[in-house]
Amino acid sequence: MHTQTHIIMGAALGGRSSRNAWAGAAGGLLPDIPMLLAVAGLKIMAVPDPIIFGIIYWQEWLQVANAVGHDFFLWGGLAVLALWRRERLAATAGDIDRWSMALVLALSGFLHTLVDFFCHREDAHMSFWPLSRWKFMSPVSYWDPAHYGHIISTAEALLGLVLAMLLFQRFPNHWTRILLAFAMLLYAAVPAYFILR
């Protein structure tokens, strides 16, 4: 899935608490940070897309960086730790709030990893790293038209739109709405970039 969908899903997961919504948005973003930084750096160096996605993407350092970001053990472990701390060790309302935010962040990262697990084919991540380098090659792809990419990307954009409208209602803040509108524009901008390049 595209990063903005993961962010919107995470924010929605945070419920009506703005702090939890921001934590959820962060959890939706964090697994993609290694890839986003790598692509941004390579684009600044004017490396063409076929080199980035056809060669560099498959190099060990980027595969491991993506594996760390999309690791079930990492996000699941953080969720268990946050839940345990919130339920067993939190002494004050402030502690409960902080560990609730950590739980939403971890659950959002886990949800991101789970969705990507089922929406990536050849470009799948090593989601059980470092115990295994195995990758699940899903029968569907979020982007490849040869593997239902048009259907998945349309469903993804609809999901993003519905969740964005939900977040518009929950959070009437002007800046939040601007960020959501920007995320919606990315559903048109990303495909347009790949068509027009």
Give the pLDDT confidence score for residue 18 in this predicted structure. Answer: 86
pLDDT digits (tens, 9 = 90+) for 156-182: 888 988 998 899 889 888 888 888 888
On average, the pLDDT of the chain sits at: 89
Least reliable range by pLDDT among 44-58, 144-158, 179-193: 179-193
User: How does residue 62 score in pLDDT terms, banded at 50, 70 and 90?
Assistant: very high
Give the pLDDT confidence score for residue 112 in this predicted structure. Answer: 97
The answer, as to whether pTM is greater than 0.85, is yes
Angle at 164 between CA 158 and CA 168, to 5 degrees: 145
Distance of CA 62 to the CA centre of its chain: 17
Kindly state the tokens that stand for 23. 């934590």
* Alpha carbons 82 and 165: distance in angstroms, whole number: 29
**Look-up: residue for tokens 């919606």?**
184
* Alpha carbons 65 and 81: distance in angstroms, whole number: 23
Give the DSSP per-residue string, 48-82: -HHHHHHTGGGSHHHHHHHHHHT-HHHHHHHHHHH
Give the pLDDT confidence score for residue 114 in this predicted structure. Answer: 97
Give the pLDDT confidence score for residue 191 in this predicted structure. Answer: 59
Give the pLDDT confidence score for residue 184 in this predicted structure. Answer: 77
Give the DSSP per-residue string, 153-181: HHHHHHHHHHHHHHHHHH---HHHHHHHH
Half-sphere exposure of 11 toward its Cβ, with a 13 Å CA cutoff? 26
pLDDT digits (tens, 9 = 90+) for 123-153: 999 999 999 999 999 999 998 899 998 899 8
Kindly state the tokens that stand for 43. 């684009």
Kindly state the tokens that stand for 124. 């799948």
Give the pLDDT confidence score for residue 41 in this predicted structure. Answer: 95
